[in-house]
Structure 1
Amino acid sequence: MQRAVLLSLLILYLNTASGCERFGRFDMTSLFKRGEIMIGGIFPVFNKEIGSTYTFESEPPGVKCEGFDLRAFRWTQVMIFAIEEINKDHTLLPDITLGYRILNSCASPTNTLRAALTLASGQEENNSTLSCSPAISALIAESGSSQSLAVAGILGPFQVPVVSYFSTCACLSNRAKYPTFFRTIPSDYFQAKALAALVKRFGWQWIGTIQSDNDYGRNGILAFTEEVKKLGICVAFVGTVLRTYTVDKILKVVEMIKQSTVKVILAFVPEGDIYPLMKEVVKQNITGIQWIGSEAWITATRPSTPEIYQAFGGALGFVMQKMAIPTLKPFLTNINPNTDLSAAFVRTFWEIMVGCKPALRSENTGADVANDMCTGNETLLYSQDAFFNVTQLRVSYNVYKAVYAIAHALHELVFCQPAGGEAVRQCLNISEIQSKQVTAQLQRVRFLNKFGDNVFFDENGNPPASYDIINWQLRDGQVQHVTLGNFASSANGDYKLSIREEEIVWRTGKLVPSSVCSIVCPVGTRKAQIKGKPLCCFDCIPCADGTIANSTGKGENGQIYTNYIFLVFAYILHLK
């Protein structure tokens, strides 16, 4: 019902007989540059929406957000960088200018919908109402799976292609529900298989899990649980967290960890949701746990500190491939609020990075920064902040690939051939491009980028499945994300896990940690299931008279019944 109402609102918002009539608008700041073809972008530049009370007696106030996310801000800059790079390319979309409009989602599905409606209805900077087709040809969105579900659900019926750079929920592969959704990060369907293979590799039988209270966390843990059940592995508990949870709710999860006997815990949680739990785990000095991380937090910068390492050192996890984009660094170091005083988010970035307030500040961000005004001589050229490290890009590289995938689809529509072809002759006017055509062409797009990656999407809009295995190690006082192996699908559909075990730094030191509910039964005893407990939990009791168990770990079905053996021998002798 709610989706139907939203769709009706969108139709009203877009549809008139001869042109578009705007009934209202959301007041959303944006990074904007006009182009002949427009690409939209939605990123969680601020990662928390401040709740408001609506009286329904007056127009609701504008959305307020807090928690400036440097990582997400860099994603916006990578999108702009890629678009500007394409605009300078003489072989990809020659003589055609790409433009962009980038909005903030606040990591909120509700605000993501506002952003999607704003982008689909036309740029507020453009007063033209000559066409009712969406003002953007494609949309790059979003980080969280819940936000992408909202966008893909609302724009899918209008055939607007959505390319995500960080949403991994397997639910988004449902082409019946989300016919225009693509992504440059593998689905959690594959990550669940990778995590299960890792758990099996080290013989862990008793696993604790932490999920975020959203589509990403719930679907991820569900997929993982289904995979490990096939291997006879038991999940001891499922703790639930969210960045907006109260301290009491976080403490309940901490208590769950303390009361459990598990020594290995999988956290299928975005970085913003797990960070409050991490701080509490460190505060209560809970050590000795081997943590496994999903791709959403295992390489995040904020938790990768010596303080958090005290409890989470040695963590293992899977991440998408990394890539270095050397030419991106000068672009990032040239970010300056004085270049464009109206550029959204840049002033807040400058305050955090430089520590002073640029002139004409208008954003009310709530950021905890210095009160000093800038002199105008500040520069980022020599900054050593991790923000400017472009040698190990993962999510940023996904954003980069998303922009290029859209550009190649547009090129093939306009020129009826892949980029780099001999003839450069337009066979489709820019004004004739419809979003449904871009969607169809994205499904067919395949190209080799300048880094040697073959970029394409399968029938469900997913890229090929390939992960690096990351291990948290402390080197020279800094937390390093060390790559120790990989997990990838093969041509025959099988999956291969390769890992250099001898190089892993475990939470327990050099020894592989053990995590079982019950110890292996010794010779002469058998398993006895404990009522109400999972299969991994059992007692060891002496074998019954007339029976033996000739190897450790044998359960009730693994016993050898000597009476039956004697009967068999007797029967054989009788035959002779």
Structure 2
Amino acid sequence: MIFATQEIQRDPKLLPNITLGYVIYDSCSTIAGVLEGTMRLLTGQRKATPNYQCHAFSSAVAVIGDTYSSTSIPMARLLGLYKFPQISYAATVKVLSDKNQFPSFLRTIPSGLYQSIGIAHLVLHFGWIWVGILSDSNDYGLQGSLIVKEEIVKAGACIAFLETIPTVYSEKKSEHISEIIRKSSANVIVIFSIDTDLYPIMEVIARNNVSGKVWVASDDWAQSSLFTKKDFLKTLQGTLGFVVRRGDISGFNEFIYSLSPYTNPDDLFLKIFWEIVFDCKLQILDTNRTIESTICKGDETLEGMKMDFFKLNDLRNTYNVYNAIYAVAHALHDMISCRHGEGPFDNSTCTMMHNFEPWQLFYYIKNAHFRNKNGEEVFFDMHGDPPVHFGIINWQVTPENTFRYLEVGHFKSSAADNETLTVDIPAILWNEDHGKIPRSLCSESCSAGYRKAPQTGQPVCCFSCVMCFQGEISNQTDSIECVKCPKDGWPNERHDKCVKKETEFLSYEETLGMVLTTASIFSAMATAVTLIIFLKYHHTPVVKANNRELSYLLLFSLMSCFLCSLIFIGRPTHVTCMLRQGAFGIIFTLSISCVLAKTIVVVIAFNASKPDSSLRKYTGQGLPKSIVILCTTLQVIICISLLIVSPPFQDENTTSVMGRILIECNEGSPVAFWCMLSYMGLLAIVSLLVAFLSRKLPDSFNEAKFITFSMVVFVSVWMSFIPAYLSTQGKYMVAVEIFAILSSAAGLLLCIFVPKCYIILFRPRMNTRDYLMGKGVFMNEKRLR
């Protein structure tokens, strides 16, 4: 302050013909001390008298100070009543920016709000999401720590603990705080406190050998000389501190080195300082007494001495004082430069230098805007705060077992968004337990393929990792939820990406499809051979017996049944889906109708042989044809209705089988489909009953018994088909239906036609009219036996 005042006096352009003076009050860092000094300054008397001012003794127009927020607040409340300008160089508490409470308060140090925001950004920049907070119990600590907490939580991180340093020192509370920090899994501790309050707590922490933590320091203790003892080296190594910006003051080093009590005998502070630094007693003639003990030789000099007290290469709060003095000087300059009629007060008047009030000077100070000798802009915003610029320092242990404070970054709120926080990470030396950036997590990160599951009663940063469910993936770490794969996709084994599902249908290329295809073609060929045999021996009694035309039609329908199963094999299409069930239903109904007609013909033929039987008129070819046409027509109607009302269509089933897409036919209306099968089953049961009742009737080659066997096989197959069909999916469902078609049709072919073919080919003697009528040699042989 003294250096800046003298420098301004030597500037012929800034305040010509004006002399600046100063009065120094020591607040002793107490509220009582600061209030007493403020009242004495306002009244101009040694004994303060409220609301009274002695102009003869008080010519102060601005106050520079105080250092701490706790003492600046009551001081600002009192000075605000008179709109007396106050510029603090170190008070950072956020509430001082409230112009309703503190209308005349300004500062050259940024508000603690921005320091808190900057600290939160620093914590998040390193990915620390599990953080402990320790704060002072005054406004500075409580408000600063609260803002840090809000910013950290807003970004999705969590607070492991929030402890407050008691106003009155307590050994029990100190041990409690030390134990919480030691046991906590949080490796990062943010401390908002002044150095004098933190010191006893940190002593306990160091004594308990708490190490491995990263301390983030607020500006009030970030460079404090209280923690330079060797006891703190292991504990505080790697600390990151937020400090006000550093600035250079040209000529200030020379000014300090030129100080001497011999050339400044009235400077009481310098006398005490000199005796402490050089460990000697001064002998200076005083009006009251003479100091007889002389140790100081008079040739002592400050230059070349290592004094952390001055920190001449690291001027921070000193630089703020320098700017505060120049802000007052520029305000005075603007005031005396006012032109008549262009003033800011009533009637555009200007203020006279020899007669102005402090509140009038305050107007010029708050609107001051200038560049200092370093080229930096100095001004106050609407809240009385300067531009935000903080430095970030790293506490590094030197070979001499002391701390050095290396600046490793900065925080500027006025910079572009991507330049707000800058940190030189390689320049940082962490605590000895950390060779790289330490981690501070409540729970380990969840890898891709997992999601975070919150733990009951714990913050969101404490979670368990749960693998994504079937059909879901997460492709990044710490996913809150998994996402479903698209319909044609499926998670891989790690559940971190979707892979395309395999399509499944009964193809001709696979073994099952080849077997069924071969069986269908072979059965159809066997049926064709049987039909050829019947056509070749069409004149024989075995072929003629029991309606030759029905046998031809039945063989043709059976051959069609075998071939229609091929429609079920291969990739389903809309056309094949519409054809296959209808073709299957109609062709099988035709086969069963033929069997039913054959059975009814046997019954009618037996009963018509009785005298005076009324059934003789039904013994012709008309009845069996009518039965076949009627039964088949009803099924045709059902199938056509099915195609019209709810036609089957090709469908991609993505849900039934995990990891596969079933290409299948959706049968449309299940009711219509089962109606078709039910009708076919009804005909089969009727045929079975009629054949069973007529199995012992005299018949050529006992065809009624063979029909009974065939229908037992047919009904058994389709009764087994229903549960098997309903319990399978995809290509196996299709295979079950094909198997039922082939086996039931084969049952009809084997039971009805194989015995006849055996007689035709291997027992031609039985294929005669005499044998058919029960006469001839075969009959005689039977009688002889």
How far does residue 186 in structure 1 lie from its aligned partner after superposition? 0.9
Q: 2:385 aligns with which of 453, 458, 462?
A: 462
How far does residue 124 in structure 1 lie from its aligned partner after superposition? 4.1
- Greater relative contact order structure (CA < 8 Å, 6+ sep): 1
Name the structure 2 match of 1:412: 334
Instruction: Check 1:562–1:321 CA distance in 2 against 1; reply closer, same or farther (3 A cut).
Output: same
State the alpha-carbon separation in 2 of the partners of residues 361 and 549 from structure 1: 84
Instruction: Give unpaired runs (5+ residues) of structure 1.
Output: 1-78, 363-371, 418-426
> Secondary structure of the equivalent of 1:489?
coil
Instruction: Give unpaired runs (5+ residues) of structure 2.
Output: 287-292, 340-349, 491-651, 667-785
Contact 2:43 2:53 in 1 (8 A): no
- Sequence identity (%): 34
State the alpha-carbon separation in 1 of the partners of residues 150 and 131 from structure 2: 13
Opposite residue 520 of structure 1, the aligned amino acid is S
Q: 1:497 aligns with which of 421, 434, 458?
A: 421
Q: How does 1:73-222 map to 2 (within 5 A)?
A: 79-122=1-44, 124=46, 131=55, 135-222=59-146
Instruction: Check 1:375–1:438 CA distance in 2 against 1; reply closer, same or farther (3 A cut).
Output: same
Name the structure 1 match of 2:464: 539
State the alpha-carbon separation in 1 of the partners of residues 200 and 257 from structure 2: 31
How far does residue 343 in structure 1 lie from its aligned partner after superposition? 3.7
Is 1:516 aligned to residue 438 of structure 2? no
Deviation sequence 1:359-385 (CA, Å, 0-9, x none): 5899xxxxxxxxx86335362334221
State the alpha-carbon separation in 2 of the partners of residues 304 and 338 from structure 1: 32
Contact 2:29 2:71 in 1 (8 A): yes
Name the structure 2 match of 1:386: 308
Q: 1:527 aligns with which of 447, 452, 458?
A: 452
Instruction: Check 1:389–1:521 CA distance in 2 against 1; reply closer, same or farther (3 A cut).
Output: closer
Aligned length: 479
> Secondary structure of the equivalent of 1:172?
helix
Deviation sequence 1:530-573 (CA, Å, 0-9, x none): 22221111233455677555554223x34548999899967999
State the alpha-carbon separation in 2 of the partners of residues 454 and 111 from structure 1: 34
Q: 1:475 aligns with which of 377, 398, 409?
A: 398
Q: Give the structure with the higher percent helix.
A: 2
> Mean alpha-carbon deviation: is it higher for 239-248 or for 153-162?
239-248
Deviation sequence 1:133-181 (CA, Å, 0-9, x none): 9642010111111211111111101010110101111111111111111
State the alpha-carbon separation in 2 of the partners of residues 233 and 332 from structure 1: 47
Instruction: Check 1:483–1:104 CA distance in 2 against 1; reply closer, same or farther (3 A cut).
Output: same
> Mean alpha-carbon deviation: is it higher for 397-406 or for 85-94?
85-94
Instruction: Check 1:406–1:348 CA distance in 2 against 1; reply closer, same or farther (3 A cut).
Output: same
Instruction: Check 1:129–1:294 CA distance in 2 against 1; reply closer, same or farther (3 A cut).
Output: closer
How far does residue 218 in structure 1 lie from its aligned partner after superposition? 0.7
Deviation sequence 1:171-198 (CA, Å, 0-9, x none): 1111111111111011122122211211
Is 1:301 aligned to residue 186 of structure 2? no
Contact 2:253 2:312 in 1 (8 A): yes
Contact 1:547 1:562 in 2 (8 A): no
Instruction: Check 1:536–1:122 CA distance in 2 against 1; reply closer, same or farther (3 A cut).
Output: same
Contact 1:517 1:537 in 2 (8 A): yes
Instruction: Check 1:359–1:285 CA distance in 2 against 1; reply closer, same or farther (3 A cut).
Output: farther
Opposite residue 103 of structure 1, the aligned amino acid is Y
Name the structure 1 match of 2:733: none
Name the structure 1 match of 2:360: 437
> Mean alpha-carbon deviation: is it higher for 311-320 or for 214-223?
311-320
State the alpha-carbon separation in 1 of the partners of residues 229 and 250 from structure 2: 25
Contact 1:243 1:274 in 2 (8 A): no
State the alpha-carbon separation in 2 of the partners of residues 109 and 565 from structure 1: 71
Deviation sequence 1:497-543 (CA, Å, 0-9, x none): 12221221111443110001111234555433222221111233455
Instruction: Check 1:564–1:442 CA distance in 2 against 1; reply closer, same or farther (3 A cut).
Output: farther
> Secondary structure of the equivalent of 1:430?
coil
Instruction: Check 1:438–1:184 CA distance in 2 against 1; reply closer, same or farther (3 A cut).
Output: same
Name the structure 1 match of 2:590: none
Instruction: Check 1:546–1:248 CA distance in 2 against 1; reply closer, same or farther (3 A cut).
Output: same
How far does residue 468 in structure 1 lie from its aligned partner after superposition? 1.9
State the alpha-carbon separation in 2 of the partners of residues 457 and 125 from structure 1: 34
TM-score normalised to the size of structure 1? 0.75
State the alpha-carbon separation in 1 of the partners of residues 653 and 206 from structure 2: 61
Contact 1:181 1:461 in 2 (8 A): yes
How far does residue 406 in structure 1 lie from its aligned partner after superposition? 0.8
> Secondary structure of the equivalent of 1:99?
coil
How far does residue 258 in structure 1 lie from its aligned partner after superposition? 1.5
Q: Give the structure with the higher percent strand.
A: 1
> Secondary structure of the equivalent of 2:412?
strand
TM-score normalised to the size of structure 2? 0.56
Instruction: Check 1:479–1:326 CA distance in 2 against 1; reply closer, same or farther (3 A cut).
Output: farther
Opposite residue 88 of structure 1, the aligned amino acid is R
Deviation sequence 1:208-257 (CA, Å, 0-9, x none): 11111111111111111111111111111122226752333322221221
Opposite residue 442 of structure 2, the aligned amino acid is C
> Secondary structure of the equivalent of 1:163?
strand
Instruction: Check 1:462–1:493 CA distance in 2 against 1; reply closer, same or farther (3 A cut).
Output: farther
Name the structure 2 match of 1:375: 296
State the alpha-carbon separation in 2 of the partners of residues 361 and 114 from structure 1: 32
Q: Larger C-alpha radius of gyration, 1 or 2? A: 2
Contact 1:164 1:184 in 2 (8 A): yes
Contact 2:472 2:482 in 1 (8 A): no
State the alpha-carbon separation in 1 of the partners of residues 258 and 172 from structure 2: 44
Opposite residue 377 of structure 1, the aligned amino acid is G
Name the structure 2 match of 1:367: none
How far does residue 120 in structure 1 lie from its aligned partner after superposition? 1.3
Contact 1:522 1:551 in 2 (8 A): yes
State the alpha-carbon separation in 1 of the partners of residues 488 and 72 from structure 2: 61
